[in-house]
Structure 1
Amino acid sequence: MGGTWFWRWRSNPLRRRDDIVEAWIVLAVWTVMALGGTAAGLAATHTADEVFARQRAERFPVRAVLLTDESQRTSAVRPSSGRSLGMARWKAPDGSVRTDWTLVDTGLRAGSRVVLWQNGHGTLVTAPPSAREAAVEAGVVGAFAGLALAGAVHAAGTLVRWRLDRRRVEAWGREWDLVGPQWGRRTI
Structure 2
Amino acid sequence: MVRTIVGLWRWRGNPLCRPTDLREAWLGVCAVLLIVLGAPAAGFAGAGAVESALVESAQQQHAERQRTWATAEQVSLERSVVTDAEAVTPRKDRYRVRAHWYAPDGNVRQGSMVTQRAVDAGDRFPIWTDQRGRHAGRPMTTHTASSHSALAGLGVGAAAVVAVECGRRCGVRLLMRRRYAAWAQEWQRIGPDWGRAGAGN
3-state SS of paired residue (1:109):
coil
Listed as ranges, the matches of 1:34-113 within 5 Å are 34-57=36-59, 58-59=61-62, 60-70=66-76, 73-75=77-79, 78-79=80-81, 80-105=91-116, 107-113=118-124
Measured in 1, the distance between the counterparts of 2:51 and 2:163 equals: 24
Measured in 2, the distance between the counterparts of 1:4 and 1:113 equals: 70
Measured in 2, the distance between the counterparts of 1:81 and 1:34 equals: 44
Measured in 2, the distance between the counterparts of 1:183 and 1:3 equals: 41
Listed as ranges, the matches of 1:162-181 within 5 Å are 162-181=173-192
The answer as to 2:141 corresponding to 1:141 is no
Amino acid at match of 1:68: Q
3-state SS of paired residue (2:74):
coil
Shift of 1:154: 1.5
Q: Aligned in 2, Cα 1:85/1:159: closer, same or farther, shift over 3 Å?
A: farther
TM-score of the pair, normalised by structure 2: 0.72
Amino acid at match of 2:78: T
Shift of 1:87: 2.1
- Give unmatched runs, 5+ long, in structure 2: 82-90
Q: Aligned in 2, Cα 1:23/1:132: closer, same or farther, shift over 3 Å?
A: same
> Which residue is 1:17 aligned to?
19
Q: Aligned in 2, Cα 1:16/1:123: closer, same or farther, shift over 3 Å?
A: farther
3-state SS of paired residue (1:14):
coil
**Contact 1:117–1:127 (CA under 8 A) maintained in structure 2:** yes
Amino acid at match of 1:67: E
Shift of 1:55: 4.3
3-state SS of paired residue (1:68):
strand
Identity %: 29
RMSD, aligned α-carbons: 2.9
Amino acid at match of 1:162: R
Measured in 2, the distance between the counterparts of 1:145 and 1:47 equals: 11
- Which stretch of the first structure deviates more once superposed, 118-127 or 99-108? 118-127
**Contact 1:52–1:128 (CA under 8 A) maintained in structure 2:** no
- Write the deviation string for residues 14-41 of structure 1: whole angstroms up to 9, x where unpaired: 3333334334433433333333322321
> Which residue is 1:156 aligned to?
167
Shift of 1:65: 1.9
Amino acid at match of 1:9: W
Q: Aligned in 2, Cα 1:87/1:180: closer, same or farther, shift over 3 Å?
A: same
Measured in 2, the distance between the counterparts of 1:54 and 1:134 equals: 9
Shift of 1:149: 1.9
Measured in 2, the distance between the counterparts of 1:34 and 1:91 equals: 56
- Which stretch of the first structure deviates more once superposed, 139-148 or 51-60? 51-60
Shift of 1:135: 2.6
Number of positions where the alignment pairs a residue of Structure 1 with one of Structure 2: 182
> Which residue is 2:86 aligned to?
none
Measured in 1, the distance between the counterparts of 2:152 and 2:142 equals: 15
